[in-house]
Amino acid sequence: MAEHRLSPADLILPVFICPGETRSEPVPSMPGVERHSPDRLLNVVEQALEFGIPAIALFPVTPLDCKSEDGEEAWNPENLTCRTIRLIKRRFPEIGLIADVALDPYTTHGQDGLVRDGIVLNDETLEALSRQAVCQAEAGCDIVAPSDMMDGRIRSIREALDGAGHHDTLILSYAAKFASAFYGPFRDAVGSASALGAADKKTYQMDPANGSEAIREASLDIAESADMLMVKPGMPYLDIIRTLKDAFHLPTMAYQVSGEYAMIKAAGQNGWLDGEAAMLESLVCFKRAGADAILTYAALEVAARLGR
């Protein structure tokens, strides 16, 4: 008797948006994943809904000429993310839309926050993030997901959203986001790897060696009124999912990140393991660990397979 069962309703599809029209381009380090222009993304959303996937998470590829030191494009209502949110919501109001709140797609240095003299400034970044979140809510996204890990961001964003009348926009906090090598393919996909260069995000993302810190981070975020929690990466951090779920009983999501996806896909393609079986196994294990939803780049293929 299986205690847990995977269903398409558990899955959230992260998607990469590229500028332009009728454009789709493969991401080399993520076999099977493509960046799509907003019009093409409509087909993806249609398919997701058909397969029973309730939500997608949006990640923009920002053209170089829209990037700047302070990432002002992040709160431009005409930026790629906001335009895409409006386009999708007009056609498919029933799809859940999650927008990432962080400056890294928009900064020339590739950090999630504002930088002065090589240092990421926490407090100064909060206002920028809040403007970005309000902008996304205004465009029609249902959930804003701060992935930047600045201290105090949840309160700042909640106040800004409420102040702008967006009381119903939910906040999904990346409460436990670890400074991970598994983000490599994602940074290729959105083009933040070259911006970041040899720098890292260790002053604000968490040390993979720390577990109790995740509880402290999550309780701060909850006190600041986070509605949901995210643990990221996924598979190496199943213990953190279980701990947060048991401690807080909030909706808890797991992010099977780009590197996890790439590992399973690459090994599958090489015939080193059964890629499809390994994918299904790792996803049901997220449920066993206590995840209420799973972000996975394999959402479409897995949902199609579950529906067969």
Active site residues: 177, 232
- Regarding 112 and contact with ligand PBG (CB under 6 A), the answer is yes
Q: Which of residues 134-173 bind ligand PBG (CB under 6 A)?
A: 147
Residue selected from 166, 187, 245, 265 as contacting ligand PBG according to rule CB under 6 A: 187
Give residue for tokens 């804003």: 144
Residue sitting closest to ligand PBG (CB): 186
**Residue 133's closest CA among 152, 149, 153, 113?**
153
Non-local (6+) Cβ contacts of 243 within 8 A are 211, 214, 215
Stretch that binds ligand PBG, among 19-27, 43-51, 186-194, 262-270 (CB under 6 A): 186-194
Of the pair 169, 180, the CB lying nearest ligand PBG is at 180
Find the shortest distance in angstroms from Cβ 44 to ligand PBG. Answer: 17
- Regarding 100 and contact with ligand PBG (CB under 6 A), the answer is yes
Stretch that binds ligand PBG, among 84-92, 154-162, 183-191, 207-215 (CB under 6 A): 183-191
- Regarding 102 and contact with ligand PBG (CB under 6 A), the answer is yes
Find the shortest distance in angstroms from Cβ 222 to ligand PBG. Answer: 21
Q: Rounded to whole angstroms, how far apart are CA atoms 296 and 232?
A: 11
Number of residues written out for the chain? 308
- Regarding 186 and contact with ligand PBG (CB under 6 A), the answer is yes
Relative to beta strand 114-116, strand 34-36 is: unpaired
User: 36-39, long-range: CB within 8 Å, 24+ apart, which pairs?
Assistant: 38/80, 38/83, 38/84, 38/87, 38/88, 39/87
- Regarding 201 and contact with ligand PBG (CB under 6 A), the answer is yes
Please, are residues 40 and 22 in contact by the beta-carbon 8 Å criterion? yes
Find the shortest distance in angstroms from Cβ 125 to ligand PBG. Answer: 12
Cis status, amide bond into 233, omega within 30 of 0: yes
By the criterion CB under 6 A, which residues form the site for ligand PBG?
100, 102, 104, 112, 147, 183, 186-187, 192, 201, 257-258
